[in-house]
Structure formats: C-alpha cells, structure tokens
Amino acid sequence: MKFSGLWGRGRRARAQQRSGAAASAPAKALLRRIQARYDAAATTDASRRHWANADGLSADAAASPAVRRVLRNRARYECANNSYARGMISTLAGDVVGTGPRLQMLTDNSAANRDVERRWDRWAASIDLAAKLRTMRAARAESGECFGLLAVNPRRLSPSPVQLDLRLIEADQVATPTPHLRTDPRVIDGIVYDGAGNPVEYHLLRNHPGDVRLSSMPLDYRRIPARQVVHYFRADRPGQSRGIPEITPALPLFAQVRRYTLAVIAAAETAADLAGVLYTDAPPDDEAATAIEPMDAIEIEQRMLLTMPGGWKMAQLKAEQPATTYAEFQKQILNEIARCLNMPFNVAAGNSSGYNYASGRLDHQTYDRAIRIDQAELQQQVLDRLLDAWLDEAVLVTGFLPQSMRRADANRAHTWIWAGRDHVDPAKEASAQTARLSNRTTSLAREYARQGLDWETELLQIAREREYMRSIGLTIDDDPELHRG
C-alpha cells in the first residue's frame, strides 16, 4: 500500500507537469529521457572490420570441440617449435609445482600426523606425483586442460601397499562420439552434468583420436563416474565446462616473432652471400661502357686487387640486418606474450640484464601472487581429491594407517606445503624474518612453510642436532629470541 501511494502521487505530479500547470524548464529537462552512448559501441567501417569476429556465443558454444581442437593443435605446434613458448611453459610449471607439495596433517595426534605424512610421501614418490603435477600445469597452459583418472594399478611396483594411481589423460581423449548424445543438453563434449550442474560422468575414448595406428577404427568410449576423474582447468567465463589453452591470446604473437626473426636472418644471409655488385652510371645505350652480361657472377679471390670493366664500378652491400629496432621489437612482443601468463619479462626471456634489484622484486610480486593462486587451484582441484581417494584406499589396508585415522568420522584436516622460492637477497630476507619473529607478526610454521619445509620435522631435527652437539662437548649458542616467553 505504501509503494502504491507513492507511485500514485508521482503519477499525479507527472500529470500536472504534462498539463503545464506547474512545470518549469529545469523540471522538463529532468523528465527528458537521458541518452548515454559508449564510444566502443559506435559502429564505423573501421570498428566493423576490427570486431568482425565478435559474437554473443555462450562459453561452451564459443569453446566448441572444433574450436578447442584447432587451438590445442596450434598451441602444441608453437610450443614444439618455439623455444620461448616452450621455455615459458616449462618455467611456469616448475615455479608452480617445484619439487612437489608436501602434506602436513593438522589433527590433534602428532604421532599419527607424522605417520600419515611419511606414508603419503612414499606413495607420492612411487607414482612420481611431482612430475605429473608439472605435466598437468604445462598441459593447462598448452592444451587448456588436463584430466586425471583415479584408478587402481596392481602391477605398479611400489613400496606402498596402496595401489592407487593417477593416470593422466589428454583433453582430446575426453569426448562424446555418439551422435544422439551430442544433442543432449546435459552432455558437454564428454562430460555429463546433472540438473544442478555437477559432473556425474565422463566419456573417455579408449584410444587417442590422434593415434595414427587407430585412425581407421571406430571411436569407442567408456563411461567413467565423476568421482574417479580429476578435471584440471581454468574457467574464464561463467558456465564454461572445458578449458582453452592459456596461451591462446599469444599464438598470433608467437608466429610474428618467428616470422620476423626468420626474415631478419634471411635478409642478413642474403647480404652476406653477395660480396659486391657491379654498376654503371652510364645510360643503357652508351658505348663507352664495356658490355657485360647482366646478372653474371664473377669469382673474386681473397686479398687481391681487381680492375673493373670500362665504365663500371663495384659497390659492397651494406649489412642492414639485424635492424637497430629488432631487439626492442622482440622485447616488447615477448613482454606482451608473457602477460597472458602473468609472467614478468625477465622470467619469460630468461634475461634480467636490464633490471635492477627493486624492479626485479616489484615485477615478481604479481608473478608470485599468480603462482600462489595456481597452487591453490591445484590443491582444490587435484590434491585434495587425490588425498581423499588415497585415504579411502589406505583404510582398506590392514594396519597401514593409525587407528585414529581409520574411523569413519576421522579428522582429515590438512594443508599443503609447497617448495620455497629462493630470495634474491638472502641477507635481507633473514633480517626481515628475524624482525617478524621478534615482534610476533609471524610464526615458525609460516616461516618454514615459505621455504617449503615442515616446521615440526625441522624443529625435531634441530633438537636432535643440539642433543648430539651437547653429547660431544660442542658449545650451543641458543637464540634468546626463540626462547623469550
């Protein structure tokens, strides 16, 4: 009732203004419909050509199977033939994963925590988990996504009785070849979703579609429950179900770098292959110049004084390549390429000659934040799923896990410790670390985690070392800051 009354009073006021009884020029101006315009929405011949490929497709329609296949093939080709592309992706995977994450259990039972962590480390080493995570991170940049199949591998030789394995699968192999299923709105190119948008099933081709040995065979597939599949990708748009290569915006730029480099080399080689050119200023019909055959090659011996035919001169070709702008062009285009990976130029180019200490630290702040985000995504999409599957399998092995971990309601609180990144100036970092510990703005657990170390393991090792030093009569200089209440 209240809103209707307000609306009614507003309607009467508008009627009075329309009748002109109490209307004024400013009031009339306010009643006019405001028309706003965006320059980017204006259509001209130039803008029409520039945005000719712009469309209003949904995320899944824009990243259709055909489009993703083309992007994957081109990205893989570029990474296989462009050293900068290969180096950037290898560096990114190495910086994100490093030597692999370490599990740290956070339950109240310290002994059980260390036991589970030790058994997990042995299992992770047996399946080479760190290398698989690096492959998955590189595949996301190069192919847009990577799939992992959680399966039992009874033939894998391992010191751990847990036979769980993580089998990596390329994006090409997850597809729906059956025509009638492609029209099902719940099926998005190999992934079946329920009404709430959760994946419930994956379609896995039995053979890779690019295997030349099987090109003439029909594409048979298996239905894999979603709980057995890890799908690692980055959704750039709401509702996006499959990933596209992260280096997609840089693919044309990679091609430009290669083309320009080849053109510069070809021009320099052409100039170097010719020792000189004979030319004359005389008109074509001048009889004073000795007639010679055009485009004829003359062999010149080294360190010899030569004479030219009458009326002819010799000029040496100038080496115009590489141009003075070549290095600057390469630097700027590599900087633009690396931007889509949140990577600073000196990391992408492997060259920090133009950097000072402050610039290097400033550029790496954005890169380090991007790495932490990537690590958090790996934890959520891959590692947590893998740990749950491993614990479920480990419970089935008699006497393998501590009793506190074998209950159905067992506490599985944990965190992941990633390999630390070396500081550019260790002395400054050590001073800052001492200051943080002294003013209680950090903890030993956090400082050890920065280095990729488990604080409990390290403190136990320090205690053993100090005990041994006392036993052999060595003096121990304890840090009073570490023992202050």
Band (3; pLDDT cuts 50, 70, 90): very low
Q: What is the pTM of this model?
A: 0.77
177 has pLDDT over 90? no
167 vs 209, higher pLDDT? 167
Q: Which of 171, 178, 183, 179 is nearest to 241 (CA)?
A: 171
**What was the pLDDT predicted at 485?**
40
Q: Residue 127, Cα to own-chain centre: how many angstroms?
A: 23
Query: Out of 118-127, 154-163, 298-307, 336-345, which region has the weakest mean confidence (pLDDT)?
Result: 298-307
396 has pLDDT over 80? yes
Band (464; pLDDT cuts 50, 70, 90): confident
Mutual angle of helices 455-471 and 110-126, in 10-degree steps: 110
Whether the Cβ atoms of residue 116 and residue 162 lie closer than 8 Å to each other: no
Q: Above pLDDT 70, what percent of the chain?
A: 80
Start-to-end C-alpha separation, the chain: 66
Band (319; pLDDT cuts 50, 70, 90): low
What the block records as the tokens of 282 is 């005389």
| Half-sphere exposure at residue 183, Cβ-oriented, CA atoms within 13 angstroms | 2
What is the per-residue pLDDT across 238-272, written as a single tens digit (0 to 9) for each? Answer: 999 999 999 999 999 999 988 888 888 887 777 77
5 vs 181, higher pLDDT? 181
**What was the pLDDT predicted at 327?**
84
What is the per-residue pLDDT across 20-30, written as a single tens digit (0 to 9) for each? Answer: 544 566 655 65
**What was the pLDDT predicted at 383?**
96
User: Mean pLDDT across the stretch 189-198?
Assistant: 91
**What was the pLDDT predicted at 299?**
74
78 has pLDDT over 70? yes
User: Mean pLDDT across the stretch 283-303?
Assistant: 69
Q: Identify the sign of the CA torsion 429, 431, 434, 439.
A: negative
**What was the pLDDT predicted at 312?**
75
Cα(159)–Cα(124) distance, integer angstroms = 11
Please state, rounded to an integer, the average pLDDT across all residues of the chain: 82
User: Mean pLDDT across the stretch 382-401?
Assistant: 92
Q: Above pLDDT 90, what percent of the chain?
A: 40
83 vs 283, higher pLDDT? 83
**What was the pLDDT predicted at 441?**
85
Percentages helix, strand, coil for the chain (3-state, rounded to 5) are 50, 10, 40
Q: Identify the sign of the CA torsion 293, 297, 299, 305.
A: positive
2 has pLDDT over 60? no
Band (4; pLDDT cuts 50, 70, 90): very low
Cα(4)–Cα(383) distance, integer angstroms = 56
Band (322; pLDDT cuts 50, 70, 90): low
**What was the pLDDT predicted at 286?**
64
Burial (0-12, 13-18, 19+ Cβ within 10 Å), 67: middle
Band (66; pLDDT cuts 50, 70, 90): very high
What is the per-residue pLDDT across 409-427, written as a single tens digit (0 to 9) for each? Answer: 888 899 999 987 766 667 7
137 has pLDDT over 90? yes
Band (42; pLDDT cuts 50, 70, 90): confident
User: Mean pLDDT across the stretch 184-191?
Assistant: 87
Q: Which of 2-16, 182-196, 270-284, 380-394 has the highest mean pLDDT?
A: 380-394
**What was the pLDDT predicted at 407?**
81
363 has pLDDT over 90? no
Band (96; pLDDT cuts 50, 70, 90): very high
Number of Cβ within 10 Å of residue 129's Cβ equals 20
**What was the pLDDT predicted at 210?**
85
Band (201; pLDDT cuts 50, 70, 90): very high
**What was the pLDDT predicted at 328?**
86
